[in-house]
Amino acid sequence: MALILTFLGKGGTGRTTISIAAAKQFAAQGKRVLLASQDTSPAFGMLLGATVSAEPQEIAPNLQVVQLQSAVLLERAWEELKKQEAQYLRTPFFKAVYGQELGVLPGMDVALALNAVREFDASDNYDVIIYDGNGDQTTLRMLGMPEIMSWYARRFRQVFMDSDLAKAISPFLQPLSAAVLTNVNWSGDIFSQPAASQATNLLEQGKAAVANPNRVAAYLVTTADESAIATAKYLWGSAQQVGLTVGGILLNQADVAESIQQEFAPLSVNALPTSQGDWQTLMQSLPDFTQAAKAPQPVKVDVAERKVYLFLPGFDKKQVKLTQYGPEVTVEAGDQRRNVFLPPELKGKQVTGAKFQDGYLIISF
């Protein structure tokens, strides 16, 4: 399993340059590195000084680079879907549609990129994967996709199983499915079938990876510009909403002022020089990215005190909405909603209070 690293920040702050420097730094340390970029324009290759494509290519010892081209990824994903269909359907019908004729719809890009990163990670060919994406809410929604989709799966699964519709059609599912499906028994929980279980396992693995800063981490990139700092703070808090640990701040083209340190406390702030092609100097100024686990974690649960601590820097109580309509607690902040999955000791308990303290939203049960 690889360390997956990404950089967040306002456009123009130097995220791609830092991604390249970080990739070079890890490769120089003997790590097997993949730099995966969602920038399919010629500009990425020009900045890198190498020819890149939709297939990983080695451009230096220990360093491979790939452009995540959505059309190519969609074609591959479609072929995999047809393999799965052929495994479970007696008469597959997707085989009549070819991946080469499919167009990329809005929103597909991030889902395809996430799946590509997952497959690269599963290959065990890399020690470090650096994802150079948009560095904004799009990247955060991508990394938060496993948790969001798993919530939809478990929430609607329970709603459906408790419904009169499920009870009415359950006796007919097995004889009907036997005529269409192969190797599937619908006599029990319809969501426990092999395909559904496989999807659930993938989502759980994705959630566990994002929640583990030794597996997935982000760093904020900013300049001294006020709008860049404000964007970085906003993305810092938003990252916590998807369970992503932010390990530190990379201040580009400026010295570290006390005011900036206070803005991002308790994270460390590293000043970076203007590289102008001097990759070695830039690499030497980068922090130790493997220390991201020392940063505050997005969620802490204290069962004994019946409290949940959510780290939400950059927001105040006026910007956070806390609700409890279902069995879980929903926190809304920064155009992100997070359903806090409670441990068995707190599940179903009603919230008795909430307060802000030292950047944490503390929820009591």
**Structural domain boundaries of the chain?**
3-74+101-149+206-294, 299-364
Q: How many helices (H) and strands (E) does the chain have?
A: 11, 15
Q: Please say whether the beta carbons of 238 and 336 come within 8 A.
A: yes
* Distance between CA atoms of residues 315 and 311, nearest Å: 10
What tokens does 254 get?
A: 């400026």
Average pLDDT for the chain: 87
Write down the pLDDT at residue 134. Answer: 94
Question: How far is CA 28 from its chain centroid?
Answer: 26
In the CATH hierarchy, which fold is given to the domain comprising 299-364?
Immunoglobulin-like (2.60.40)
Mean pLDDT, rounded, for 228-232:
95
| pLDDT-based confidence at residue 172 (cuts at 50, 70, 90) | low
- Give pLDDT, residue 309: 93
Contact 35, 65 (CB under 8 A): yes
What amino acid occupies position 181?
L
Give the burial string for 301-312 (b: 16+ CB within 10 Å, else e). Answer: beeeeebbbbbb
Q: Which range has the top average pLDDT, 75-89, 183-197, 278-292?
A: 278-292
Q: List the one residue out of 243, 245, 230 whose CA is nearest residue 315.
A: 230
Question: pTM for this structure?
Answer: 0.88
Q: Give the pLDDT score at 204.
A: 86
User: In CATH, which of 3.30.70.920, 3.40.50.920, 3.40.50.300, 3.40.50.720 is domain 3-74+101-149+206-294?
Assistant: 3.40.50.300
**Sheet harboring 353-357: ordered strands across?**
299-302, 307-311, 360-364, 353-357
Quick one: pLDDT band at residue 176, thresholds 50, 70, 90? low
Q: Determine the Cα–Cα distance for residues 55 and 154; give it in Å rounded to an integer.
A: 36
**Distance in angstroms (rounded) separating the CA atoms of residues 183 and 172:** 17
Query: Looking at the predicted structure, is the pLDDT value of residue 104 above 80?
Result: yes
Let me know: does 243 contact 144? Beta carbons within 8 Å.
yes
List the beta bridge partners of residue 311: 360
Instruction: Give the CA count within 13 Å in the CB-facing half-sphere of 253.
Output: 16
What is the per-residue pLDDT for 187? 54
Q: Residue 167: what pLDDT?
A: 65
- The edge-to-edge listing of strands for the beta sheet with 336-340 is 321-323, 329-333, 336-340
Backbone angles phi, psi at 328, to 5 degrees: -120, 165
Of the candidate ranges 166-170, 205-209, 278-282, the one whose mean pLDDT is the lowest? 166-170
- For the chain, what percent of residues have pLDDT higher than 70? 90
